């Protein structure tokens, strides 16, 4: 039997709403919110496509801008770092000022930053533009989960999360294939730059559709922002991630170790700030009461491990295919295609099976994903420079099945017990775990991969295959840990109401 708090998380004290809180009209679920919800999913499509499309373009970016290995990692990890820092704040802003309004603001910033990325003349300029792009994604992305959670009833919400999973898979396919084709096409001699410019027409169309079709929604009890908490979180993440990205290339100078050591008390300081904010009666950036929900507590760690493995693996795979095996960008993108196709197909199948089988679908996906990753390690390390490409593609296709079964229902299952007042905050917490995991994974696997590479130059197939295999061991361990945590998620009966008891009236919540 799994229990949750009987008072909605984040509800006002017993003596009534605080002076910072004001009522807001709750959006009606009786209308036709589907067109607007689907339009908002363009934000998810763009944010995930952008990550995958840049992974494919990474070698071309490095060559054209003469970027160092650390600068290339920052093109990817910098985006995820600022994304992670601002996600919880982005979720809270949506709760406070309206999710549609903040979504449009984020989409506008993301679109402008994409234009700037494509115009960047140097690697530092590209990194700077990517930081603004990450800020736009942080405002935009958590609103999508909250919009689905708040605007749709239980039945339509399950279908929406299944559609959202298919969007994730489709954006992965599009990013990997389109990235390779755009780089290879070298439109008007612009090389990799169109991989960012493609976001501009998509962003403008999504803004127009969302503005017209999406109803506004906000938390009934709006809360003030926790700026001290946001600053403390930013300092903590910078202290942790910057030395991991820069350390190997600089020879691990003393400041990198000091920075890593300082991240521990900085994290403690962040938690202390949040406790002080909560005691003062103001809403903290991160409400520790959310962790009383076992699904969210376990799910946050699970998401951290899963996304630490996901994006970092795709980076080292792109480097192997293009720098190690010498494939042109479009062929590297095509190597990804079987993985993306099986992921898309499995997400559709999983969407149909999840209402009947519940967590079992995610368990199966986690096992398949871990097994596929372990097979990839074996193929890379045993075959070495003679690794057959078809064997790698088969391993990737099997991983795609695991991703498709695990990823789409995961966020919906974790968010199910969260009340509407905290939908944006909880979405921000999970999205932050995604991006912190992604940034940490890029930093850690970068250290392992480049360390195993041993300074080998492009074209050294054996060295790149070995480095890929060694780094993939770390990926496999992370995926195994995530799969283990899937089995620890509370197993609710398919179709059961998993909201907090206060939101269900006297029915409470039952687990099986």
For residue 434, pLDDT beyond 80 = no
**Residue 420 confidence (pLDDT):** 64
Average pLDDT over residues 437-448: 80
Its pTM stands at 0.70
**Residue 423 confidence (pLDDT):** 64
Question: What angle do the packed helices 227-250 and 423-453 form, to 10 degrees?
Answer: 10
Count, residues in the chain: 512
For residue 13, pLDDT beyond 50 = no
Q: What is the band of 121 on the pLDDT scale with cuts at 50, 70, 90?
A: very high
- Whether the Cβ atoms of residue 336 and residue 344 lie closer than 8 Å to each other: no
- Whether the Cβ atoms of residue 163 and residue 151 lie closer than 8 Å to each other: no
> Each residue of 123-150: pLDDT tens digit?
999 999 999 998 998 888 878 877 887 7
Highest mean pLDDT among 187-191, 402-406, 414-418, 489-493: 402-406
| DSSP code string of 173-242 | HHHHHHHHHHHHHTGGG-TTTHHHHTHHHHHHHHHHHHHHHPPP---SS-----HHHHHHHHHHHHHHHH
For residue 31, pLDDT beyond 70 = no
Listed in sequence order, the residues at least 6 apart from 455 whose beta carbon sits closer than 8 Å to its beta carbon are none
Q: Note every long-range contact of 478-481, with CB atoms under 8 Å and residues 24 or more positions apart, other chains counting.
A: 478/305, 478/306, 478/308, 478/309, 478/441, 479/305, 479/306, 479/309, 479/366, 479/369, 479/370, 479/373, 480/370, 481/305
Identify the weakest region by mean pLDDT among 78-82, 202-206, 287-291, 353-357: 287-291
Average pLDDT over residues 162-189: 76
> Each residue of 45-57: pLDDT tens digit?
887 788 778 877 8
Of all residues in the chain, the percent with pLDDT exceeding 70 is: 82
> Each residue of 53-70: pLDDT tens digit?
887 788 888 888 988 877
Reading the block at residue 37, the tokens are 């919800």
């Amino acid at each position: 039997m799994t229990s949750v708090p009987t008072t909605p998380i984040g509800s006002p004290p017993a003596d009534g709403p605080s002076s910072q809180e004001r009522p807001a009209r709750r959006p009606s679920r009786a209308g036709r919110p589907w067109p607007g919800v689907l339009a908002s999913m363009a934000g998810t499509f763009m944010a995930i496509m952008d990550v995958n499309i840049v992974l494919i373009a990474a070698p071309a970016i490095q060559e054209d801008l003469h970027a160092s290995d650390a600068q290339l990692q920052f093109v990817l990890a910098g985006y995820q770092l600022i994304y992670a820092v601002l996600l919880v704040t982005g979720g809270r802003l949506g709760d406070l000022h309206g999710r549609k309004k903040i979504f449009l603001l984020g989409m506008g910033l993301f679109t402008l930053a994409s234009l700037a990325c494509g115009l960047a003349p140097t690697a530092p300029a590209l990194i700077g533009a990517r930081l603004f792009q990450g800020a736009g994604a942080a405002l935009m992305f958590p609103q999508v989960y909250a919009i689905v959670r708040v605007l749709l009833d239980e039945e339509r919400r399950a279908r929406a999360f299944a559609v959202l999973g298919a969007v994730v898979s489709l954006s992965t396919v599009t990013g990997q294939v389109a990235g390779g084709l755009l780089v290879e096409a070298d439109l008007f001699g612009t090389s990799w730059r169109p991989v960012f410019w493609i976001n501009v027409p998509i962003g403008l169309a999504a803004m127009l559709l969302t503005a017209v079709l999406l109803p506004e929604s906000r938390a009934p009890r709006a809360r003030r922002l926790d700026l001290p908490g946001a600053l403390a979180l930013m300092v903590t993440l910078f202290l942790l991630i910057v030395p991991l990205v820069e350390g190997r290339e600089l020879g691990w100078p003393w400041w990198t170790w000091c920075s890593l050591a300082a991240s521990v008390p900085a994290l403690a300081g962040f938690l202390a700030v949040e406790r002080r904010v909560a005691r003062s009666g103001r809403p903290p950036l991160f409400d520790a009461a959310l962790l009383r929900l076992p699904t969210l507590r376990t799910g946050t760690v699970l998401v951290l491990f899963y996304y630490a493995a996901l994006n970092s693996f795709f980076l080292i795979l792109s480097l192997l295919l293009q720098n190690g095996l010498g494939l042109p960008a479009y062929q590297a993108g095509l190597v990804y295609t079987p993985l993306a196709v099986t992921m898309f197909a499995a997400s559709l199948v999983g969407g149909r099976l999840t209402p009947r089988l519940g967590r079992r679908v995610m368990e199966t996906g986690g096992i398949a994903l871990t097994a596929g990753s372990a097979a990839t390690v074996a193929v890379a390390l045993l075959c070495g420079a003679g690794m057959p490409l078809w064997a790698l593609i088969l391993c990737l296709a099997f991983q795609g099945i695991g991703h498709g079964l695990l990823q789409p229902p995961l966020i919906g299952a974790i968010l199910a017990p969260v009340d509407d007042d905290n939908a944006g905050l909880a979405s921000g917490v999970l999205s932050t775990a995604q991006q912190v995991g992604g940034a940490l994974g890029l930093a850690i696997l970068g250290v392992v991969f480049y360390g195993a590479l041993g300074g080998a130059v492009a074209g050294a197939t054996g060295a790149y295959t070995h480095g890929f295999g060694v780094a993939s061991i770390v990926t496999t361990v992370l995926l195994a840990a995530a799969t283990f945590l899937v089995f620890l998620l509370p197993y609710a009966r398919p179709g059961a109401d998993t909201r907090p008891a206060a939101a269900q009236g006297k029915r409470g919540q039952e687990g099986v």
